Structure 1
């Protein structure tokens, strides 16, 4: 179990339960890939495909930051979460 701060931006907050932009969660996960799966199952209330296209990765157009650093510099889904990590999911796609 790891305590993580989650943030949803760029409109993703609209599909999160309670339409919240920020959550602090205790998730039974070890890696960022496992966290994405957990968030998709436990935090996203509708339009799951707008967040993630598969269980362990986000859809194209969703920027992932770990402690304000692009997740690609941290090892993407393999990143080992640390207590207190701040993970932001930001949609770069805007509908009209």
Structure 2
């Protein structure tokens, strides 16, 4: 069993509006048989945090184009994107680069 993972999530650039305007969330992901990865995290966020309009945050099983994802201040493209295995105390930031007018 993989142990629970405590992580810090941050939403900015307007993405926080989908989460009742709350920018920062400290969450503990429950134990599960396999280590948590970003793909599973996105499903968890949709089920537990996302309050409205999921289509503005996710597309298919990834984040929507126009949302920048940083893992511990590095672009997630350098970290393996959806396959990145979450570590305890990771800091994951989602920033919307699309601004409505």
Q: Please classify the TM superposition score into its range, dividing by the shorter chain length.
A: over 0.9
| Deviation at residue 12 of structure 1 after TM alignment | 0.8
- Provide the TM-score with structure 1 as the length reference: 0.93
Q: Which residue of 1 aligns with 2:70?
A: 65
The answer to whether the aligner puts 1:47 opposite 2:49 as a matched pair is no
Structure 1 unaligned residues grouped into runs of 5+: none
Measured after TM superposition, the shift of residue 95 of structure 1 is 0.2
Q: How far off is 1:19 after superposition?
A: 1.8
Aligned length: 94
Residue in structure 1 matched with residue 7 of structure 2 by the alignment = 4
State the Cα distance separating 1:88 from its structure 2 match.
0.2
- Alignment RMSD (CA, Å): 1.1
Match of 2:26 in 1: 24
4+ runs of 1 displaced by more than 2 Å?
none
